[in-house]
Amino acid sequence: MSSRSLHAGIALVTVAMLGAGKVEGQTLLTGLGRLAVPSELETWGAIVGPDGAGLPSGRATAAEGRVLYDRRCAACHGLTGQEGPDARLAGGRDSLAGDQPRKTVGSYWPAATTLWDYVNRAMPFDQPGSLTSDEVYAAVAYVLFLNDLVDEQDPVDADSLPRIEMPNRAGFVDDPRPDVVAAQAPRP
Amino acid sequence: MTGDDARTKAGHGRRGFLKAATLGSAAAVLRPSTLLGQPRSGRSLGEGVGGYGDRSPFETTLRRVRGSRYAQAAGSLTPLQNLNGSITPSALHFERHHSGIPEIDPSEHRLLIDGLVDRPLVFSLAELQRMPAVTRTYFVECSGNGRVKWSPAEPDTDAQAAFGMTSCSEWTGVPVSALLREVGASAGASWVVAEGADACRMTRSVPLDKAMDDTLVAYGQNGEALRPAQGYPLRLLIPGWEGNICVKWLRRLRVVDQSYLTREETAKYTDLMPNGEARQYTFVMDAKSVITRPSGGQQLDEPGFYQISGLAWSGRGRVQRVEVTTDGGRSWAEAQLQDPVLPLAHTRFRFDWSWDGSETTLASRCIDETGDVQPSRAALIAARGTQSSYHNNAVQGWRIGRDGRVENVDV
């Protein structure tokens, strides 16, 4: 049975189970789309969750990441991650409540997994997708090292990355809006 | 010659519009009568038919590109002050891209829905277009729209600069709820991660409730296919929520059990408060309005009648009422709303006004059907400080000088 007809078969069964007379409007399944096979799913690339879901195998240390960072990252982010000209990656600890908050990986980001996910999908800016998994781990390890979040020789991998304690992990609150009390305008 | 010069020369610019009410009789005296009563266009054949229409060469309003280090990670602003009605022409819809506009062959594009599902499915565009579709009118607004208003008003800031990152279109597509029924979301599913096919693979987490409520996978915009800058051939359209979460060039929906804390919902698009805490998942766009005519940079040529016109919208529902002040906020009166007032869409408001030639300030405020009131800038800053970047919906003031010049001002 092909994947297409398999899906269509499921759709027919589901429709039958809903029972005649109980089906309203457009709740019938169409049976459109074809079943994705597991080997195909891997080719779509990683999506990484905060618990490490989606992280591939591979491992690197900050010491291994230094050369890669200097060569592929530093031109935009600075040798220490603080100079720019583009997004500041390091520093800024304890600056968030001040007049000039610096929102960096170390001062602001709530999860270290975000860094792996973003570097893997979007960096370097002009060559996205060009890093291997090991290279992404290496770049991530070095940026975490620049923020004093790992030591030079700490292995960063799918097991250790989700367990890294980000300093601002508890710094986020849910949306309290509407919150501007003074907005209650007098009626004309 | 700048675009503004070109418009003025053609007599169809923003200044031209404001002159229009006064030109009538004077023009008949000043111009040869044949030009008005027997225009040249009536005495010679015009252009023939064509395949794809262009606007008049006299119409030159453009999006304005916001300064940025990279053209691919930048924004362009809709010229709200030069538009009529509530729909934004697709070619003038604001842009915000993070890694450029990809060129995608629709015959090769696929949407994968996987994760916590019974059946991971791959859809072609042709298959999606066979599914039951809906058409809805919704605004899309960048949550950074109005960002300049966290700083004190610069006199030369116009409506385009301050408010041009909102646009409104008629969107056609498939409800995400229908797609999720096809794949069968499993127990434990609570979020959907949406991923784009652009060079940064833009990724956002969407709460499953909203995805199942009114979210669309859209392929149509204002009767056509989506524009490339708006996600061609497929985008997420999450009504009333900030533009960034309406992922363009949509290639994957992964059903998951928690927010994935992507870069764009942590490092960006979170709202920093004065105490150093940041608000997260600030999805909804608040009640907002702006007078677009007369507005910053325009010119009133003489005292007399001018209909004030503007746009109002809210991510929480319908616009219930728009109030306008023509005396700097001392008194407010209710504006007319153009029917039909659609939820989560731009609503055109109008207010008849006669300018007496004295200096004054115009402003509008939106009240939506949930009672949300557009606040003053001072009230907003009192509640949130000045570092939160996003979601500034403060009242916009336009000062009319004695010389008729219209300038940006805080009210």
Give residue B35's pLDDT: 64
Asked if B119 and A47 come within 8 Å (Cβ–Cβ), the reply is: no
- Asked if residue B391 has pLDDT above 70, the reply is yes
Q: Does A9 touch chain B (CB under 8 A)?
A: no
The ranges assigned to domains in chain B are: 64-279, 288-409
- Report d(CA B237, CA B224) in Å as an integer: 16
Distance from CA of B261 to the nearest CA of A (A): 6
- Asked if residue A124 has a cis previous peptide bond (ω within 30° of 0), the answer is yes
- Asked if residue B381 has pLDDT above 80, the reply is yes
Give residue B40's pLDDT: 86
Q: Which residue of B has its CA nearest to A104?
A: B267
Residues ≥6 apart with Cβ < 8 Å to B201 = A45, A121, A122, A128, B195
Average pLDDT of chain B? 93
Q: Does A179 touch chain B (CB under 8 A)?
A: yes
Instruction: Take residue A149 and report the two structure tokens written for it.
Output: 């979040």
User: Which residues share a beta bridge with B271?
Assistant: B279
Q: Dihedral (C-alpha) B298, B303, B306, B309: value to the nearest 10 degrees?
A: 40
Contact assessment for residue B263 and residue A114, using Cβ atoms and an 8 Å cutoff: yes
- Asked if residue B18 has pLDDT above 90, the reply is no
Give residue B8's pLDDT: 37
Asked if A171 and B276 come within 8 Å (Cβ–Cβ), the reply is: yes
Residues ≥6 apart with Cβ < 8 Å to B359 = B399, B400, B401, B402
Q: Which helix (H) or strand (E) holds B26?
A: helix B14-30
Phi-psi region of B5 (alpha: psi -120 to 50; beta: other; left: phi over 0): alpha
Q: Could you give all domains of chain A from N- to C-terminal order, each with its CATH number?
A: 47-174 (1.10.760.10)
Instruction: Give the SS3 label for residue A78.
Output: coil
Say how many Å lie between the first and final Cα of chain B, rounded: 34
Least trusted range by pLDDT, from A73-77, A180-184, B196-200:
A180-184
For domain B64-279, give the fold: Sulfite Oxidase; Chain A, domain 2 (3.90.420)
Q: Residues B28-49: what's their mean pLDDT?
A: 77
| Residue whose entry in the numeric block shows the structure tokens 């007599």 | B11
| Residue whose entry in the numeric block shows the structure tokens 């008849």 | B352
Residues ≥6 apart with Cβ < 8 Å to A45 = A120, A121, A129, B201
User: Mutate which of B119, B124, B128, B365 to test chain A, going by most A C-beta atoms within 10 A?
Assistant: B119
Residues ≥6 apart with Cβ < 8 Å to A25 = none
For domain B288-409, give the fold: Immunoglobulin-like (2.60.40)
Contact assessment for residue B157 and residue B377, using Cβ atoms and an 8 Å cutoff: no
Q: β-pairing, A172-174 with B278-280? A: parallel
Give residue B156's pLDDT: 98
Give residue A27's pLDDT: 57
Instruction: Give Cα B168 distance to the centre of its chain.
Output: 5
pLDDT tens for B220-260 read 999 999 999 999 999 999 999 999 999 999 999 999 999 99
Closest by CA to B206, choosing from B150, B158, B264, is B264
- Report d(CA B381, CA B285) in Å as an integer: 17
Contact assessment for residue B335 and residue B231, using Cβ atoms and an 8 Å cutoff: no
Q: Does A172 touch chain B (CB under 8 A)?
A: yes
Q: Which residue of A has its CA nearest to B194?
A: A47
- Asked if residue B271 has pLDDT above 60, the reply is yes
What sign does the CA torsion over B38, B41, B44, B49 have?
negative
Please give the residue that has the higher pLDDT: either B313 or B1.
B313
Specify the amino acid at residue B358.
Answer: S
Average pLDDT of chain A? 87
Name the pLDDT band for B33 (thresholds 50, 70, 90).
low
Choose the closest CB to A175 out of B120, B282, B378: B282
Asked if A174 and B279 come within 8 Å (Cβ–Cβ), the reply is: yes
Strands (E), chain A: 34-35, 59-60, 156-157, 172-174
Least trusted range by pLDDT, from A19-23, A167-171, B70-74, B165-169:
A19-23
CB atoms within 10 A of CB A51: 15
Instruction: Give the SS3 label for residue A67.
Output: helix
- Asked if residue B47 has pLDDT above 70, the reply is yes
Neighboring chain A residues of B282 at a CB cutoff of 8 Å: 175, 177
Give residue B39's pLDDT: 85
Give residue B281's pLDDT: 98
pLDDT tens for A84-102 read 999 999 999 999 999 999 9
* Angstrom distances, CA of residue A179 to CA of A183, B37, B223, B282, B286: 9, 59, 38, 12, 11
- Asked if residue A50 has a cis previous peptide bond (ω within 30° of 0), the answer is no
Contact assessment for residue A97 and residue A171, using Cβ atoms and an 8 Å cutoff: no
Neighboring chain A residues of B332 at a CB cutoff of 8 Å: 185-186, 188
Q: Residues B139-156: what's their mean pLDDT?
A: 98
Choose the closest CB to B258 out of A36, A50, A109: A50
| Residue whose entry in the numeric block shows the structure tokens 């003074």 | A182
- Asked if residue B10 has pLDDT above 60, the reply is no
Q: Dihedral (C-alpha) B228, B230, B233, B235: value to the nearest 10 degrees?
A: 160
Residues ≥6 apart with Cβ < 8 Å to B236 = B176, B194, B206, B215, B216, B217, B218, B245, B246, B247, B248, B250
Question: Within the 28-47 window of chain A, which residues sit less than 8 Å (CB to CB) from chain B?
Answer: 29-36, 40-41, 44-45, 47
Q: Residues A113-118: what's their mean pLDDT?
A: 98
Q: Does A188 touch chain B (CB under 8 A)?
A: yes
Name the pLDDT band for B67 (thresholds 50, 70, 90).
confident
- Report d(CA B353, CA B401) in Å as an integer: 16
Instruction: Give the SS3 label for residue A60.
Output: strand
Name the pLDDT band for B319 (thresholds 50, 70, 90).
very high
Q: Does A77 touch chain B (CB under 8 A)?
A: no
Environment class of A154 (CB within 10 Å of its CB; exposed 0-12, middle 13-18, buried 19+) = middle
B347-355: strand order across its sheet: B288-293, B304-313, B347-355, B336-337
pLDDT tens for A40-75 read 998 999 999 999 999 999 999 999 999 999 999 999
Q: Which residue of A has its CA nearest to B316?
A: A178
- Report d(CA A9, CA A5) in Å as an integer: 6
Closest by CA to B238, choosing from B196, B260, B202, B207, is B207
Distance from CA of A104 to the nearest CA of B (A): 8
Contact assessment for residue B125 and residue B160, using Cβ atoms and an 8 Å cutoff: no
Q: Residues B65-87: what's their mean pLDDT?
A: 95
Q: Which helix (H) or strand (E) holds A113?
A: helix A113-122
- Asked if residue B25 has pLDDT above 80, the reply is no
Q: Residues A109-129: what's their mean pLDDT?
A: 98
Instruction: Take residue B23 and report the two structure tokens written for it.
Output: 């030109």
